[in-house]
Chains A and B, each alone.
Chain A
Amino acid sequence: MLPDVAGALTGILAVLSVAVTTLVIDRTMYLGASTTFVRAAGYVEQVVIPENVQANEYLQQNRPRVDWQMMVVGGIFIGALISARLGRSAKLETVPPIWKERFGTSATLRGVGAFIGGMILMFGARLADGCPSGHGLSGNMQLAASGLLALVFFMVGGIITAHLLYKK
């Protein structure tokens, strides 16, 4: 499927989801993903340092619980799995080609990079109060000033870093 067709279908899905949640549960839900990672962090902390979950203001605002958005994120896994199976497009990948060309075949080095990158991007997403789903898609669909500004700076940061990192 062409990316623009898949994107248009996602646009219709986002609008339908907004309409259906408003009608059925009387709450208007816009797509997002990064708050789920805060709740996930809360779940982990509940096992390791439970007293910190109680003491931390941000974890209290975003308590570890299964909510609508967490189900969306879980659903993405299931939907992608079904699509990859049906289209036979699943691919076991430990080191992606662009990374391999620049940093070699070490899966450990790739793992360290992915971990550090994930840590920085999530800190940034929470500071900006959203990621490419919440700001990029939902924010811009609503013509939010914050959505456009966030998306522009996501791209500026990404383009500069990628050129420094992967360009020879």
Chain B
Amino acid sequence: MDLFLGLATGILFGFFLQKGEVLRFEKQVGFMLLKDMTIIKFMMTAVLVGMVGIYALHGIGMISLSIKSANIGALVIGGLLFGIGWAIAGFCPGTSVGALAEGRIHVLWAIAGMVVGAAIFAEAYPLLQRTVLTWGAYGKVTLPQMLGVSPWLVIAVFIIVGLSAFRLFEKKGL
């Protein structure tokens, strides 16, 4: 049953990613060159709608959160490395398979690279576990917990910032 649910979710996710035109190298690199905010608009509305829904369900005790650890060293170094590779490849892991379905066949090389990159990481893991992954490990913490405020206050701030950014993009025609 979990496999069926995963497949159904993935099909809808892929449908929306393709319809939103975010699967393309041009859109991903276009954002990184700050010329086209398509992928940011997609991500922003997804996150803003999602945070309201997730915290509503969490508030009534229906679901649990699944927070990843705030390991500062790993997030900064890993995040920057991801960004470097993302700019060269022009695809990210989730969109890569969708880009292939859309006919962008050069993504096959990126997908192959990603599999090799995962294998290299697996070899480096013991060393990283002793080093980078211990640098600034703050555990599974959320922004409202860190700030000591209600999650709804943080959500309100995100919505205001998000809508302002959106208006700016529209005004500048990005």
How many angstroms from the CA of A122 to the CA of B91 in the assembled complex?
A: 11
Given A121-B92, A153-B76, is A6 in contact with B141 using a C-beta cutoff of 8 Å?
no
Among A33, A82, A133, find the residue whose CB has the most chain B CB atoms closer than 10 A: A33
User: B87 contacts A128, CB within 8 Å?
Assistant: no
Residues in B whose Cβ lies below 8 Å from that of A116: 85, 88-89, 113
User: A79 contacts B98, CB within 8 Å?
Assistant: yes
User: A159 contacts B83, CB within 8 Å?
Assistant: yes
Residues in B whose Cβ lies below 8 Å from that of A157: 79-84, 86-87
B58 nearest in chain A by CB position = A142
How many angstroms from the CA of A125 to the CA of B68 in the assembled complex?
A: 13
Chain B proximity of A53: nearest CB distance (Å): 9
User: B5 contacts A156, CB within 8 Å?
Assistant: no
Task: Check if B70 is an interface residue, CB within 8 A of chain A.
Answer: yes
1/0 per residue, CB under 8 A from A, across B14-58: the answer is: 111111111111100111111000110111111111110111010
User: B113 contacts A115, CB within 8 Å?
Assistant: yes
User: A3 contacts B42, CB within 8 Å?
Assistant: yes
User: B10 contacts A71, CB within 8 Å?
Assistant: yes
1/0 per residue, CB under 8 A from B, across A110-151: the answer is: 111111111111111111111111111111111111111111
Residues in A whose Cβ lies below 8 Å from that of B87: 117, 157-159, 161-162, 165
Chain A proximity of B5: nearest CB distance (Å): 6
How many angstroms from the CA of A149 to the CA of B154 in the assembled complex?
A: 15
Residues in A whose Cβ lies below 8 Å from that of B159: none
Chain B proximity of A118: nearest CB distance (Å): 3
Chain B proximity of A24: nearest CB distance (Å): 6
How many angstroms from the CA of A41 to the CA of B30 in the assembled complex?
A: 30
How many angstroms from the CA of A28 to the CA of B67 in the assembled complex?
A: 12
How many angstroms from the CA of A121 to the CA of B89 in the assembled complex?
A: 8
Given A142-B142, A147-B68, is A15 in contact with B86 using a C-beta cutoff of 8 Å?
no
Some 16 contacts from A to B, beta carbons below 8 A apart, are A7-B20, A8-B46, A22-B63, A41-B116, A73-B93, A80-B101, A96-B29, A98-B90, A99-B90, A113-B109, A124-B81, A141-B54, A142-B67, A146-B141, A161-B32, A161-B88
Please list the residues of chain A having a beta carbon within 8 angstroms of any beta carbon in chain B. 1-15, 17-22, 24-25, 27-34, 36-38, 40-42, 44-45, 56-59, 66-84, 87, 89-99, 107, 110-163, 165-167
> Which 8 pairs, one residue from A and one from B, show the smallest C-beta to C-beta distance?
A157-B83, A75-B10, A118-B113, A79-B14, A153-B79, A121-B85, A117-B89, A11-B49
